[in-house]
């Protein structure tokens, strides 16, 4: 029995209790306690990771269980949590909501850690519901702002659907198979897969829970409605909250991956959300709006990857995206200065003739060379797995977009060649990291179901995403102007989530009376 796991959940819970007790009387002391507790938790999480890598899984009775998969996810949760708590002390200084932020964020971190390290399915469900309640409390810190009230309402509605689905899955699973200990799930995979009706029902409900929590179509509206929350809350979403749908499907992969219905549903919904979120991200004129829809698209890719059975790849993406996007949200306050610099920078010229041909060739051929080089170096450790196919296609699509943007800005052959060399090196490094990460996680993912989607179906959404991205991002090409205009207007319209004039006035970065805004509002609104 390892007390480290219990301490990981108890430390932020104790900090939350201190914030609730001290309240406004000792705000500075409360902030120090919250930041100190979060920092201690990072050290505890690293100790758990080292222990699981060295001596195997840890447990705390039947309540908590951590293998390598759980340990790396706990490191993500505690790392983002610590950064946000330290950042929040400065960002919310002199704000009346500070004690509430420390209390609710502490509960959210404790519940998320308990969810990631849950020993049983019942425990996971209880921690999942507690994290939902804590997030809704965080989103309601500025109850006087109409946009904040709308965000609370939308989030609570989506989470009610997700939580109900998870509770139903837990009830069915417990009734059919008895107590589900997650440490024994891999060993019971064959037994569970034999009960096809129960597996299909439970796995489908797990997908519904993941769809609601990770802002997937058709329950995606809650995430952009959270823009009225303070920036630290937006960053904290990436500490196992908005990405909890992926955590759920990965941890319960022996059940989820055993149902063809569930895996195909996850793939379809994830692919649709990836396309939808990416398209809307490209049309946003405010920094937090663009980051929010980017998160939605990335969560779609994560769920889609789970449908492919590439659980190690989905975990890597979940962690990398969580750390990266949380950092971008915390740095969103510099958007105005950055936008001012970009206005002074030379704009990309209209590409014609040889420059256009070089840009198209660079966007198509350079990523192919990069992926080919990675496969030649890493084969067969990467190319013979569904995750390898998914990630190579993702790397190609990302590389194509990057090369097109670079070539449009600097169409000279020397600049394109230099950028291509950097892209090839970055692609090989990225796919090498994925391959090594998958090898480390392989024991923790044993027993994952095999009723997954064919990886070649990934070609369809990737092609749509590439065409949509190029169309929305290259409106200066005369042949694409009409299609681009229609797509742009449709994406702009789809991005509005506030239903009333009063609510629109309270939103951040949302178009006001039809005029897009780039500015950020003060801390009491959508800062």
DSSP-assigned states of every residue in 296-349:
HHHHHHHHHHHHTT-HHHHHHHHHHHHHHHHHHHHTGGGHHHHHHHHHHSPPPP
- Between CA 231 and CA 84 the distance in angstroms is 9
Q: Please list, in sequence order, all residues whose beta carbon lies within 8 angstroms of the beta carbon of residue 470, skipping any fewer than 6 positions away.
A: 363, 401, 404, 480
Residue 238 near residue 177, CB atoms below 8 Å:
no
Give domain status of residue 527, yes or no: no
Residue 367 near residue 432, CB atoms below 8 Å:
no
> In 3D, which of 172, 159, 34, 48 has the Cα closest to residue 113?
48
Q: Total structural domains in the chain? A: 2
Give domain status of residue 445, yes or no: yes
- Between CA 291 and CA 397 the distance in angstroms is 19
Instruction: Name the maximum alpha-carbon separation found in the chain.
Output: 69
Domain ends where: 117, 136, 163? 117
Give domain status of residue 285, yes or no: no
- pTM surpassing 0.75? yes
Q: Walk along the chain (527 residues) and give the pLDDT tens digit of each residue.
A: 689 999 999 999 999 999 999 877 788 899 999 999 999 999 999 999 999 999 999 999 999 999 999 999 999 999 999 999 999 988 888 788 899 999 999 999 999 999 999 999 999 999 999 999 999 999 988 878 888 889 999 999 999 999 999 999 999 999 999 989 999 998 888 888 788 899 999 999 999 999 999 999 999 999 999 988 889 999 999 999 999 999 999 999 999 999 999 999 999 999 999 889 988 887 887 888 889 999 999 999 999 989 988 898 899 989 999 999 999 899 887 765 665 565 554 454 555 566 666 666 666 667 677 767 766 766 555 545 555 566 666 666 676 766 766 766 776 767 767 777 777 777 777 777 878 888 899 889 888 877 778 776 776 776 776 666 555 555 444 444 555 566 666 666 676 665 444 334 443 333 322 333 333 333 333 33
The CB-based long-range contact list for 9-14 (8 Å cut-off, 24+ gap) reads 9/64, 9/110, 9/113, 9/114, 9/117, 10/110, 11/37, 11/40, 11/41, 11/44, 11/110, 12/37, 12/38, 12/41, 12/81, 12/106, 12/107, 12/109, 12/110, 12/113, 13/106, 13/107, 13/110
Radius of gyration, CA atoms only, the chain: 23
Residue 78 near residue 324, CB atoms below 8 Å:
no
At 65, is the secondary structure helix, strand, or coil? strand
Domain ends where: 117, 132, 148? 117
For 341, counting Cβ atoms within 10 Å of its Cβ (0-12 exposed, 13-18 middle, 19+ buried), the class is exposed
Chain centroid offset of residue 367 CA: 25
Residues pairing with 60 in the sheet: 64
Residue 120 near residue 181, CB atoms below 8 Å:
yes
> In 3D, which of 54, 53, 69 has the Cα closest to residue 183?
69
What domain range is 75 assigned to?
A: 1-117
Q: Please list, in sequence order, all residues whose beta carbon lies within 8 angstroms of the beta carbon of residue 128, skipping any fewer than 6 positions away.
A: 111, 115, 163, 166, 209, 213, 244, 248
Residue 287 near residue 509, CB atoms below 8 Å:
yes
Tokens of 434: 């994925």
DSSP 59: E
Residue 390 near residue 310, CB atoms below 8 Å:
yes
Please report the beta strands in 361-491, taking only residues with DSSP state E, as ranges in sequence order: none
Give domain status of residue 475, yes or no: yes
pLDDT at 191: 84
Give domain status of residue 510, yes or no: no
Domain ends where: 71, 88, 117? 117
Give domain status of residue 156, yes or no: no
Residue 297 near residue 491, CB atoms below 8 Å:
no
- Between CA 197 and CA 176 the distance in angstroms is 10
pLDDT at 348: 47
Q: Which residue has the tokens 């997937």?
A: 216
- Between CA 465 and CA 460 the distance in angstroms is 9
pLDDT at 25: 78
CA distances from 262 to 269, 459, 492 (A): 11, 20, 32
At 56, is the secondary structure helix, strand, or coil? coil
Give domain status of residue 68, yes or no: yes
- Between CA 231 and CA 183 the distance in angstroms is 37
Tokens of 488: 């742009």
pLDDT at 524: 37
Q: How many residues does the chain have?
A: 527
């Amino acid at each position: 029995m390892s007390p480290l796991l219990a301490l990981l959940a108890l430390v932020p819970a104790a900090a939350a209790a201190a914030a609730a007790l001290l309240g406004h009387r000792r705000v500075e002391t409360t902030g120090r306690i919250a930041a100190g507790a979060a920092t201690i938790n990072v050290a505890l999480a690293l100790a758990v990771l080292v222990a699981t890598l060295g001596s195997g899984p840890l447990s705390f009775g039947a309540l908590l269980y951590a293998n390598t998969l759980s340990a790396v996810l706990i490191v993500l949760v505690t790392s983002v949590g610590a950064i946000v708590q330290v950042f929040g002390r400065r960002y919310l200084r002199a704000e009346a909501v500070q004690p509430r932020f420390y209390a609710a964020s502490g509960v959210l971190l404790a519940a998320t850690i308990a969810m990631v390290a849950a020993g049983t399915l019942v425990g996971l469900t209880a921690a999942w519901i507690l994290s939902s309640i804590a997030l809704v409390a965080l989103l309601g810190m500025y109850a006087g702002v109409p946009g904040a009230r709308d965000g609370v309402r939308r989030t609570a509605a989506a989470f009610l659907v997700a939580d109900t689905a998870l509770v139903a899955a837990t009830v069915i699973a417990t009734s059919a198979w008895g107590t589900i200990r997650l440490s024994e799930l891999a060993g019971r995979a064959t037994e569970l897969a034999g009960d096809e009706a129960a597996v299909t029902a439970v796995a489908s409900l797990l997908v519904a829970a993941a769809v609601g929590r990770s802002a997937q179509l058709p329950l995606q509206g809650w995430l952009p409605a959270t823009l009225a929350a303070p920036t630290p809350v937006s960053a904290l979403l990436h500490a196992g909250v908005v990405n909890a749908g992926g955590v759920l499907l990965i941890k319960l992969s022996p059940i989820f991956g055993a149902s063809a219905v569930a895996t195909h549903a996850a793939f379809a919904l994830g692919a649709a959300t990836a396309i939808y979120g990416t398209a809307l991200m490209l049309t946003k004129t405010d920094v937090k709006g663009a980051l929010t829809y980017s998160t939605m698209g990335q969560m779609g890719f994560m769920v889609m990857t789970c449908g492919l059975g590439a659980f190690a790849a989905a975990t890597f993406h979940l962690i990398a995206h969580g750390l990266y996007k949380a950092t971008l949200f915390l740095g969103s306050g510099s958007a105005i200065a950055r936008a001012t610099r970009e206005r002074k920078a030379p704009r990309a010229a209209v590409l014609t003739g040889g420059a256009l041909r070089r840009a198209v060739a660079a966007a198509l051929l350079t990523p192919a060379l990069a992926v080919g080089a990675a496969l030649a170096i890493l084969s067969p450790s990467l190319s013979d797995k569904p995750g390898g196919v998914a990630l190579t296609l993702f790397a190609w699509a990302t590389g194509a977009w990057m090369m097109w943007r670079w070539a449009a800005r600097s169409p000279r052959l020397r600049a394109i060649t230099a950028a291509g060399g950097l892209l090839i090196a970055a692609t090989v490094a990225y796919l090498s990291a994925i391959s090594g990460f998958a090898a480390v996680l392989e024991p923790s993912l044993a027993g994952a179901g095999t009723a997954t989607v064919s990886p070649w179906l990934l070609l369809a959404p990737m092609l749509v995403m590439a065409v949509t991205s190029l169309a929305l991002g290259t409106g200066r090409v005369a042949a694409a102007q009409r299609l681009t205009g229609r797509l742009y207007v449709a994406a702009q319209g789809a991005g509005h989530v506030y239903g009333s004039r009063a609510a629109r006035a309270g939103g951040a970065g949302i178009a006001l009376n039809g005029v897009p805004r780039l500015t950020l509002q003060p801390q009491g609104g959508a800062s």
